[in-house]
Chain A
Amino acid sequence: MASERAAFLTQMVEVLTSTVSFGERLSNMVHLLARNLKVDLALYFGLDKARETLLLNVSSQGPVPPHLRLEFPLGQGLVGETARTRKFTVVHRRQPGVSAANASLEKLHPAYQTLAGFPVADDNFLYGVLILVDRTERSLTSAERQGVQLTCLMLAAALRQAIVQEEAKKRIAELSVLFEVGKALSSTVELDELLERIVSTTAKVITARGAALHIFNAATGEVRVSSRYGQIPPESPALPQITPSGAATEPPYYEGESTDTAGHTHYCLAVPLIFKGQLTGTLGVYDKFNPNGEYLPFDPENRQLLFTMAGVIVNAIENALTYQQVEDLAEKNERMVRNLTALQEISQVMLTSVQEARLQEIILQGLTQESGLGFDRAVVLMVDEATQTLRGAQGAGCSHVTHDLPNLQALQVPPPEMIPVLDWEIPLRVDQGPLALAVLRKSPYHHHQTVKEPGLPPALAGKYAAQEFFVVPLVVKDRTTGVILVDNQASGRPLEPERLDALQMFATQAALVLENAHLYSTIETNNRELLLIRERMLESDRLAALSSLASGMAHEIRNPLVSIGGFARRIAKLVEPNSPLRGYVEVIQEEVTRLEKLLREILDFTGENLSYYGDHELAKLIEDTLILVQRDLDANKIKVAREFAQLPRLHCDDRQMKQVFYSLFQNAIQAMHHGGTLTIRTFPVERPDGLYAAAAISDTGSGIPMEVLHNIFNPFFSTKDYGTGLGLAIAQRIISRHYGQIEVNNEIGKGVTFIVTLPVAKYCLVKDAGQGAVPASVLKVPKGGR
Chain B
Amino acid sequence: MKKILVADDEMSIRLLYSEELKEEGYEVYQAANGREALDIVDKIPLDLVILDIKMPEMDGIEALRQIKEKRPDLPVILSTAYGEYKQDFATWASDEYLVKSSDLEDLKAVVKRYLKE
Contact = CB atoms under 8 A, between A and B. Distances in A.
Contacts of A561: 102
Interface magnitude class on chain B: 20 to 34
Residues of B contacting A: mostly: helix
B45 interface: no
Interface in B82-106: 82-84, 86-87, 89-90, 92-93, 100-104
Given A559-B10, A608-B83, A608-B84, A566 B89 contact: no
Given A555-B81, A566-B20, A567-B16, A733 B102 contact: no
Contacts of A566: 13, 16, 20, 102, 104
A560 interface: yes
Interface in B58-84: 65, 68-69, 72, 81-84
Nearest to B8: A559
Given A559-B81, A730-B89, A716 B69 contact: yes
Nearest to B16: A566
A562 B13 contact: yes
Interface string A578-592: 000000000001001
Given A565-B103, A596-B102, A559 B13 contact: yes
Contacts of B13: 559, 562-563, 566
A562 B101 contact: yes
B74 to A, nearest CB: 12
Nearest to B65: A716
B81 to A, nearest CB: 4
Contacts, number: 79
Interface of A: 551, 555, 558-570, 589, 592-593, 596, 603, 608-610, 659, 714-716, 726, 729-730, 733
Given A610-B87, A714-B72, A729-B93, 14 more contacts: A558-B81, A563-B13, A566-B13, A569-B104, A592-B102, A603-B83, A608-B82, A609-B83, A609-B84, A609-B87, A715-B68, A715-B93, A726-B92, A733-B92
A273 B19 CA distance: 137
Contact of B103 (A563, A569, A729, A733): A569
Q: Closest 7 CB pairs between A and B?
A: A565-B102, A563-B12, A566-B16, A715-B93, A558-B81, A608-B83, A730-B89
B59 to A, nearest CB: 14
Interface of B: 10, 12-13, 15-16, 19-20, 54, 65, 68-69, 72, 81-84, 86-87, 89-90, 92-93, 100-104
A563 B19 CA distance: 12
Residues of A contacting B: mostly: helix
Nearest to A607: B84
Contacts of A726: 89-90, 92-93
User: Which of A569, A593, A715, A726 has the most chain B CB atoms inside 10 A of its CB?
Assistant: A715
A40 to B, nearest CB: 160
A565 B13 CA distance: 11
Contacts of A609: 83-84, 86-87
A567 B11 CA distance: 13
Contacts of B83: 603, 608-609
Given A559-B100, A570-B19, A730 B84 contact: no
Contacts of B100: 558-559, 562
User: Which of B19, B81, B86, B102 has the most chain A CB atoms inside 10 A of its CB?
Assistant: B102
